[in-house]
């Protein structure tokens, strides 16, 4: 009877408060997830928001239940000091053994929270580059150009280089003979830029006017002209191939001389020549 009069109401109050806190946490995170997803067109980003809210809910519920359980045990007259000491030692041992795993989850949480990359983005992380095929709190899976699948633990992600955010920069270096008039070459390249910029097949892929700043380098009986193109993410490759084809045809049509007999050099930012 003493227990029912004094201790049971306290235990019931702790359980009731804990249940209310869990309900509030779930309601708030559910509504935040719904509000965020409603304003996001990307289903990938919506999934990321749901993942974050799920993690926050799980951690919050665990903390509420743990505190409530310790409070109830104290009301039941159990000594908590040995239990807490044992839990502390066990937690320390688990922490040392699983610190890399914990680091994976913490890094993965912030990758999702800061939206550092999405599924389908082309990124360079941990020394490898590829398209993101899968991402969780523990790992990121990349597929590179030759089809190799790379699985990267999120703890290894220290620097993220995302090449598919907002726009991509295409840099072409066109090399012609030194004796060709500079004004003529620049004018031809600008006309090519206008033509492809207004071509219905490529107009949506190019986000701004193509720039031809002028001569980038002179030497060895050749002159190098710079062409800058801003495209939508992952569209620079198709635009680059079409631009090279048009440069070749235009130079052949206008009899533009090249540094060597029968050679036309168009170099991209990776240093490859074609």
- Edge-to-edge strand ranges of the sheet holding 222-231: 211-219, 222-231, 168-177, 265-267
DSSP string, 159-174: --EESSSS-EEEEEEE
- Enumerate the H helices of the chain as residue ranges: 2, 8-38, 43-75, 80-97, 99-114, 182-197, 236-253
Q: Sketch out the chain's domains with CATH numbers.
A: 2-97 (1.10.287.1260), 116-162 (2.30.30.60), 168-267 (3.30.70.100)
| Residue-by-residue pLDDT tens, the chain, 274 positions | 666 667 778 888 888 999 999 899 888 877 776 765 555 545 556 666 666 777 678 778 888 888 888 888 777 776 666 666 666 666 665 666 667 888 888 888 888 878 888 878 889 999 999 998 888 778 899 999 889 999 999 999 999 999 888 888 889 999 999 999 999 999 999 999 999 999 999 999 999 899 999 999 998 889 999 999 999 888 888 999 999 999 999 999 999 887 765 555 566 655 444 4
Cα separation, 233 vs 85, whole angstroms: 54
* Cβ-contact 166, 206 below 8 angstroms: no
Token pair belonging to 91: 């937690």
- The verdict on pTM exceeding 0.85 is no
């Amino acid at each position: 009877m003493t227990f029912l009069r004094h201790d049971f109401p306290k235990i019931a109050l702790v359980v009731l408060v804990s249940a209310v806190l869990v309900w509030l946490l779930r309601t708030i995170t559910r509504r935040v997830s719904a509000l965020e997803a409603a304003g996001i067109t990307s289903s990938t980003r919506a999934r990321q928001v749901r993942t974050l809210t799920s993690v926050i809910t799980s951690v919050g519920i665990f903390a509420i239940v743990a505190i409530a359980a310790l409070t109830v045990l104290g009301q039941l007259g159990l000594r908590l000091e040995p239990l807490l000491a044992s839990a502390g030692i066990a937690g320390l041992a688990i922490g040392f053994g699983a610190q890399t795993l914990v680091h994976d989850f913490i890094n993965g949480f912030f990758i999702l929270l800061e939206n550092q990359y999405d599924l389908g983005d082309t990124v360079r992380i941990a020394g490898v580059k590829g398209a993101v095929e899968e991402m969780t709190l523990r790992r990121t899976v990349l597929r590179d150009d030759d089809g190799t699948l790379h699985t990267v633990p999120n703890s290894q992600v220290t620097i993220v280089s995302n090449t598919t955010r907002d726009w991509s920069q295409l840099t072409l270096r066109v090399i012609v003979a030194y004796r060709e008039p500079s004004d003529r070459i620049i004018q031809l390249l600008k006309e090519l830029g206008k033509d492809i910029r207004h071509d219905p097949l490529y107009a949506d892929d190019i986000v701004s006017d193509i720039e031809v700043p002028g001569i980038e380098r002179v030497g060895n009986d050749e002159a190098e002209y710079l062409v800058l193109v801003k495209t939508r993410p992952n569209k620079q490759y198709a635009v680059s191939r079409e631009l090279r084809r048009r440069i070749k045809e235009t130079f052949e049509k206008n009899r533009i001389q090249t540094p060597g007999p029968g050679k036309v050099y168009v170099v991209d930012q990776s240093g490859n020549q074609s």
